[in-house]
Amino acid sequence: MENEVPYFKTFDEFFSAVNMSPSKYEGLYVDMMDKLWTHPSLVVPPFKHNSYAIKLLLKGEGVMRIGQWKENLKAPAIFISPPNQIVSCEMVDDNILEYTVIINDYFIDKHLKLKHFISVFEYFQADQSTPIVIADDEMTDLVKVFNYIYDEFQMEEKNDSLEIMASAILIFFMKIKRLYNQYSLKNEEENSESKKIDSLSNRFLTLLHEDSQHEENINYNISYFASKLAVHPNYLSSKLKAETGKSAKEHLDAKLIHNAKTLLQQTDFSVKEIAFKLNFKESAHFVNFFKKQTAETPSEFRKAY
């Protein structure tokens, strides 16, 4: 396939593509951005990366797209770009101020408290990372913590620099969680139910999120994931059904539809190209699957969008 969404698997690849200087810390980047990198047209075309990008929009307005969601976002707001999601945006003008923290697994894996927080906070999951429009005083509170992180990032590196920044980033995320809980429409019952899912189901959902983003011709099924988790397929299926209320097939189908809709919304790939990327041998099979799941064809969905 000639058409591909650029996928930046490392910081170096991303910074090289947007003509930015590389970060002095592997797996961590902090910046105050007053422009959209090197895009004078105010449009950032679709791309993917393997990091968590947490952004505070202090000034600016535009159409933001991350995965399936699309929103005309206006400052002050928070939004997160999780790993492996297609991202693009179109800003109204160049009056932009955006504070950004970008971290990837290299940094996260070295700081266990931060890693645990990210793994259990639903806002960092692809289907929950919709933006939050907040009040000016709430943004001011977040900026205070961000400034501490930014100042430490800009200083000459010391032996404890990474630990200090990791701790400050954890506080930053905890404050974002407070706002997420405040603005979220979820009720306490739903939140408490999500905490009952055990580690096996969580590991499956994490693998599903990570692996299903790759554009490799792998036939994803319950046996594939059971093998990676070293359990029997029937045991994994029963655990998922009992703890999430959905069968393994329902989870797999939902992720496939999520990826299909994202490609239909954010790219001009043909239906045939998308079918190939999602491992369908025939485009007709993809069309039938999509219509069965959504009650409309891929072309109808794209036209309505």
What pLDDT, on a 0 to 100 scale, did the predictor assign at position 218?
Answer: 54
The helix-helix angle for 248-266 and 199-211 (nearest 10°) equals 30
Structural domains in the chain plus CATH codes:
7-190 (2.60.120.280), 197-304 (1.10.10.60)
Size of the chain in residues = 305
Mean pLDDT to the nearest integer, 197-207: 74
pLDDT in tens, 61-107: 888 888 877 888 889 999 888 888 888 888 887 788 899 999 999 99
Mean pLDDT to the nearest integer, 174-198: 64
140 pLDDT exceeds 50?
Answer: yes
What pTM, to 2 d.p., does this model score? 0.68
pLDDT in tens, 232-250: 788 888 888 888 888 888 8
CB 179 within 8 A of CB 131: no
What pLDDT, on a 0 to 100 scale, did the predictor assign at position 93?
Answer: 78
pLDDT in tens, 106-129: 999 999 999 989 887 878 875 566
Residues 6+ apart with CB under 8 A from 26: 11, 106, 107
What pLDDT, on a 0 to 100 scale, did the predictor assign at position 142?
Answer: 97
What pLDDT, on a 0 to 100 scale, did the predictor assign at position 236?
Answer: 85
What pLDDT, on a 0 to 100 scale, did the predictor assign at position 2?
Answer: 53
What pLDDT, on a 0 to 100 scale, did the predictor assign at position 191?
Answer: 45
